[in-house]
Amino acid sequence: MSMVHVCDACGKVIQHPHDQKMREFTLNTSYDYGTVLTNPTVERKEIHLCDNCFHALYLIAEGAKMPGQPEQPIGQTIKVKYLSDKIEKLDYIASKSDWIDLRAAENVDLKAGNFKLIPLGVAMQLPKGYEAHIIPRSSTFKNFGVIQANHMGMVDESYCGDNDQWYFPAIAMRDTSIKVGDRICQFRIVEHQPQISFEAVETLGNEDRGGIGSTGTR
């Protein structure tokens, strides 16, 4: 019977391991974390690694990305053309949210029941493969008495001309006034959903949950 070994990293039984000498530090007394030691006691300990763990160790030592490791998020750039010089430039509200506020670009007076496309004073070129979702701010109805006509707006990256201004479709629930620069809605960008195919089936193979409202009110 040939000799076998066990990978010290993952526990897999292997026949031809990669033998690695790893340094182990032995401290003769206790130290606070962060203490720099000039002459620690050093020992060499041999460990056995399978092919996968050996290559993983090599990649880590070289600073490479491990297979399966998620990509780090990369910041995106949105080109903005301002169609009004009366509103502030777009920016995050520091440490508050990753939604970005949009402002009314003109003064608007509405009577209860009136509808108005309120210009937001910006046109944008979104990153390829992204769309913007536009919703009211949490305080929009409380402050201005308006609701968004379509409840959520969606702008895709093809709406990107110099005059493709963004608007907020407002329905006034009471008499109200909105001033230039008032923050009335907010947006964020999300990636398009993947291509979807549809399959017709005779049954979904699942139990019915009970219909709308089946979980009750409490």
Catalytic site positions: 156
Place of tokens 């502030």: 88
141 φψ region: left (φ > 0), alpha (ψ -120 to 50), beta (else): alpha
- Cα–Cα separations (whole angstroms), residue 85 to 68, 89, 133, 135, 136: 47, 9, 24, 23, 23
How many C-beta atoms lie closer than 10 Å to residue 172's C-beta? 21
From CA 178, how far away is CA 20, in angstroms rounded? 70
Helices and strands counted in the chain (H then E): 2, 15
End-to-end CA distance of the chain: 66
Q: Mapping DSSP to helix (H, G, I), strand (E, B) and coil, where does residue 212 land?
A: coil
Beta bridge partners of 176: 110
- Dihedrals φ, ψ of 62, to 5°? -85, -5
144 backbone dihedrals φ, ψ, rounded to 5°: -125, -10
DSSP code string of 1-15? ----EE-TTT--EES
